[in-house]
Structure 1
Amino acid sequence: MSTTTTAELNTPGGFREMLAISTPMVVSHACETLLIFIDRLFLSRIGPEPMNAAMAGGLSSFMLMTFFVGLIGYTTALVAQYLGAGRKSQCTVVVTQAMLLVLPATLLVFACRPLVYSLFGLMDIPAVQREQQQLYFDILLYGTPLVLLRTSLSGFFSGIGRTRIVMISAMVAMVVNAVANYVLIFGHLGFPALGLRGAAYGTLFSSSCALLVLLTAYVRRTNRDEFTIGAGWLFHRTIMAKLLRYGSPAGVEMFLNLLAFTLIVLIFHSHGVVTATAVTIVFNWDLVSFVPLLGLQIGVVSLVGRYMGAGSPEVAERAAFSGLKMGWIYSSLVLLLFVTLPQQMVDIFAPSATNELFLAAAPLAVDMLRLAALYVLADATIVVFSGTLRGAGDTLWAMGLSVAMHWIMVPIVFVFLKVLNFSPIAVWLAFIVFFLISGGLFYLRFRHGHWKTLVVVKD
């Protein structure tokens, strides 16, 4: 390695710093992905129907939480900016404001439950799957406060760069979920076989354990002393206003995007059980490829926010390109897997007994998975540059572009699949093209440079 390259690695905002802060978050999100993946994998042993129900029901429950997950998740950028500005005592005040939002958020999420029931009815999903996905949805919804409190505390540790704590929390959740699901889904150690219901209960229990890890780390003495946590338990109008102002666009973006994505999944599911099974398998693997990139995005938000708070936009830009290199390395490995091993990846979801539905869906799933390799690099590009914009405070523009691209896709999928009767493969190709276009537009906004002029923590 040349001297120049070594210097670039060690420079503030360089690849090594990005790697150090992002790797635990990538591992953390990979664990969260495996948690969901294991749910689907265990349920696939029972049959495709419970697996499909878990996909639709799980997406729908998380969709109701996403506005508040995005809003509270802006804690990462705000904490990072206060840390960069040398105002450590304000970091825990940010966390307190996020926690104050959890109770009203939970009540609003519960109030919206009937709307999702109506959505299930409108999408003309087979009755057997609809009943199961509503059951799964209902149970997972009780985990709303757990998810939001975890988001608050994860945002603090991500913002101050101590992402290893978040990683440990996620690893605990993954292990606990795998054991709990094995016991509760299939009925081991004296427990009855609860099937889909057991998968939901296992998820809630694992989330509780992960929250306990974060809370323990947050209130330990060294953390209390360094960030004066005791003095941070108060309502702070100015910081709450910042969190609402800069976090709301991120929350709106997450909610509208996941709502659009959920509608797309439900439209595919309404096309028939073969298409539903194929799409569920493909999106299970898509989550494995995409969700770890959200860990990289948190690293980008944290570093960009820190250097913007310190008044160093040029270092923030260097951090963005370091994140892009890391994202492309990861996505290139995913691309290779999707191209070379699609059949083996689909066969992992084969039921224990021969199942005609799975046999009919497998060829379609293989073709869709191979085509998914076309957009994995675009995923990394979108994640990194949208994270850069959010870390700097350019959240409104990032929200507008992301939401527009997702909602343009909803009527296209519906018309192509339900009105024009195009094949699922043709609709999938249109889906991929829009992701490629979106990646290019995020890059253009980044290159425009407006985000470098923004100031978030001046007061």
Structure 2
Amino acid sequence: MFGDYTKEFKYNIRLATPVILGLLGHTFVAFADNIMVGQLGTAELAAVSLGNSFVFIAMSIGIGFSTAITPLVAEADGAGQAADAKSALKHGLVLCTLLAVSLFALMLLCKPLMYLMDQPAEVVALAMPYLDLVAVSLIPLIIFQAFKQFSEGLSQTRYPMYATVIANVVNIILNYLLIFGKMGFPQLGIIGAAIGTLVSRVIMVLFIWLILQKNARFTSYVTGFNFRKLEKKVLSKIIDLGFPSSLQMFFEVAIFTAAIWLSGVLGKNPQAANQIALNLSSMTFMFGMGLGVAAMIRVGNQKGLRNFKELRRLAQSIFLLTLLLEIVFAALFLLGRDWFPTIYLDVQDPVNYVDNMEVLLLASQLLLVAAFFQISDGLQVVILGALRGLQDVKIPTLITFIAYWLIGFPVSFYLGLYTDLASTGIWIGLLAGLSASAIMLYIRFNFMTKRLIRLGSEPQ
């Protein structure tokens, strides 16, 4: 019985690993920015955190919407319908581009909100120009996501990984040159980090399109588009899947963004500590995201084949793999919670010594809570991926809203601002929301798959 699930581990890992590495690449951009900017001081680190909080919300909507492409392509691939897969990519590219430009404009309009959020004045002053450039980078990022989701729908998970690795190399080099003014380049501080992010994301789009075009298997999919001929039926299907998926990701990212803002109310040091803990947690979260994509692909393929018993078995094998992996991450966070934060700050800096010591202590406390929500965070995103593979998105959207905003956020708000728990209380709220989401999403998956198996076994 147990072997029915563990025998799938090898293939699941092989399918998910390139996705995880690609997603880690996105996070590593922020990781590199945080480490390099952290050398400038806690105010600069908090400014990057505040600026990125706006970007993360917009990014979550764009990335969430793009995930609609993967199950459509995976189902078409499973059913042997190549034309439908190409159509999903073409229409997805159009919708993702329009959404990206709209989100960029919306972020510029929302910039003045920083002055109304009770954030430290020096942090806001630094964050405003940083946000301008990072907002532009959303456009190439979301276009890249359309190609990425298409590629993953065809079980080709390596190409997005290659694009992300190259982008990271470019980002780190530009960060080094422009943040600190090395080799004759101007010293731009956090603006240099924003330029590195923008350039690296443009390169990602160009690279993935070129590499897909050069592969004989994919050339016909990514060339010869007639964008003047769009089908309302396909557009509607992508919107029907993509809009709820974007809301799901928005609800989760928004509560973590709310944690950034609530931490900012407590001061620049709590906000900097929150950024450190959030960046570390986001890296382990990418493993869950990658396994969630694997679940979406395998469930989408089996849906195309209408083999619902196998669909359920394959999905549960990925759930089990995720559980075991997240237990390991929880142990790492518990063991390394005092050391990990020291990576981000110059602990020998005499000017910022007092601030840095406070940030290190606070970050260690947050990582203690983060250790406990590793399991629920990983499971909820993998189960969500399986449900997307089933193209079941509306009820899961309601579940994520209830979990994060009716359960998690009130706990964060009250414990963070009205009790002595402060920053730790904010993260206890995150733990509550993630745990509620994991439990309710699994109940939904269990119901849906048992129902499909029952209906599929009935005589037609």
Q: Do these two structures clear the TM 0.5 threshold for a shared fold by scoring above it? A: yes
CA distance in 2, matches of 1:162, 1:359: 45
Judged with a 3 Å threshold, the aligned counterparts in structure 2 of structure 1 residues 224 and 418 are, in CA distance, closer, same or farther, namely closer
* Structure 1 partner of 2:436: 437
Conserved? CA contact 1:77–1:301, under 8 Å: yes
| Residues 302-321 of structure 1: pairs in structure 2 closer than 5 A | 302-321=297-316
C-alpha displacement of 1:232: 6.8
Identity of aligned residues (%): 23
What is aligned with 1:83?
A: 77
Q: Which runs of 5+ in 2 are unaligned?
A: 456-460
Measured on the aligned residues, the alpha-carbon RMSD in Å equals 2.3
Q: Following TM superposition, by how much is the alpha carbon of 1:130 offset from its aligned partner in structure 2, in angstroms?
A: 0.8
Alpha-carbon distance between aligned partners in 1 of 2:23 and 2:219, rounded to the nearest angstrom: 29
Q: Specify the alignment match of 2:345 in structure 1.
A: 350
Please tell me the residue identity of whatever aligns with 1:322: S
Deviations 1:51-82 (A, max 9, x none): 11112211212312432321222111111011
Q: Deviations over 1:1-56 (max 9, x none)?
A: x9x94x8666xxx3232222111101111222112111101100111111111122
- The 8 Å contact of residues 308 and 449 in structure 2, kept in 1 or not, is answered as no
1:449 is paired with a residue whose SS is helix
Contact 2:413–2:426, Cα closer than 8 Å, also in 1: no
Q: 1:376 aligns with which of 374, 389, 402?
A: 374
Deviation for aligned residue 1:416: 3.1
- Equivalence for 1:395: 393
Q: Secondary structure at the match of 1:46?
A: coil
Query: Is 1:274 matched with 2:269?
Result: yes
Alpha-carbon distance in 2 for matches of 1:439, 1:69 = 20
Partner of 2:41: 47
Structure 1 residues 108, 231: CA separation in 2 closer, same or farther (over 3 Å shift)? closer
1:186, distance to aligned residue in structure 2 (A): 1.0
Structure 1 counterpart of 2:21, from 22, 27, 36 = 27
Q: Would you say the 8 A contact 1:52–1:280 is kept in 2? A: yes
Q: What's the secondary structure of 1:247's corresponding residue?
A: helix
Q: 1:18-167 maps to which residues of 2 (within 5 A)?
A: 18-167=12-161
1:217-366 paired onto structure 2 within 5 Å: 217-220=211-214, 222-224=216-218, 227=221, 229-230=223-224, 234-351=229-346, 353-354=349-350, 355=352, 356-366=354-364
The alpha-carbon distance between structure 1 residues 452 and 226, as it changes in their structure 2 partners (threshold 3 A), is farther
Cα distance in 2 for residues equivalent to 1:452 and 1:138: 48
Structure 2 equivalent of residue 198 of structure 1: 192
**Partner SS, residue 188 of structure 1:** coil
Shift of 1:289: 1.4
| C-alpha distance in structure 2 between counterparts of 1:91 and 1:258, whole Å | 29
State the AA in 1 paired with 2:115.
Answer: G
- CA separation of 1:135 and 1:421: change in aligned 2, threshold 3 A: farther
Tell me what 2:458 maps to. none
Q: CA deviation at 1:303?
A: 1.1
Classify 1:276/1:258 alpha carbon distance in 2 versus 1 (closer, same or farther; 3 Å): same
Structure-2 change in CA distance of 1:8 and 1:412 (3 Å):
closer
Q: Tell me, in whole angstroms, the C-alpha distance in 2 between the residues paired with 1:211 and 1:224.
A: 16
1:423-455: per-residue Cα shift (whole Å, max 9, x none)? Answer: 322343233233222222222112213586399
User: Which residue of structure 2 lines up, in the alignment, with residue 425 of structure 1?
Assistant: 424
Task: For 2:433, give the aligned amino acid.
Answer: F
Taking structure 1 as reference, are residues 411 and 39 closer, same or farther at Cα in structure 2, changes over 3 Å only? same
Q: Tell me the TM-score normalized by structure 1.
A: 0.91
Output one character per residue of 1:160-188: Cα deviation in whole Å (capped at 9) or x when no partner: 00101111111111211111111111111
Of the three residues 401, 404, 407, the one matched with 1:406 is 404
The CA distance in 2 between the partners of 1:186 and 1:54, in whole Å, is 16
In the TM superposition, what whole-angstrom CA distance separates every residue of 1:161-217 from its partner, at most 9, and x where no partner exists? Answer: 010111111111121111111111111121111110000100111111211221012
The answer to whether the 8 A contact 1:123-1:267 is kept is no
The worse-fitting range, judged by mean Cα deviation, of 146-155 and 424-433 is 424-433
Per-residue deviation, residues 293-344 of structure 1 (Å, max 9, x unmatched): 2122111111111111111122221221221233223322211211111111
Deviation at 1:114, TM superposition (A): 4.9
| Equivalent position SS for 1:343 | coil
* Local SS of the residue matching 2:414: helix
User: How far apart are the structure 2 equivalents of 1:228 and 1:111?
Assistant: 28
TM-score w.r.t. structure 2 length?
0.91
The DSSP-based 3-state class of the residue aligned with 2:65 is helix
Report if aligned partners of 1:261, 1:406 keep a CA contact under 8 Å in 2.
no
State whether residues 52 and 276 of structure 1, in contact with CA within 8 Å, keep that contact through their aligned partners in structure 2. yes
Three-state SS of the structure 1 residue aligned to 2:39 is: helix
Whole-Å Cα distance in 1 between the matches of residues 58 and 278 of structure 2? 19
Residue 96 of structure 1 deviates from its aligned partner by 0.7
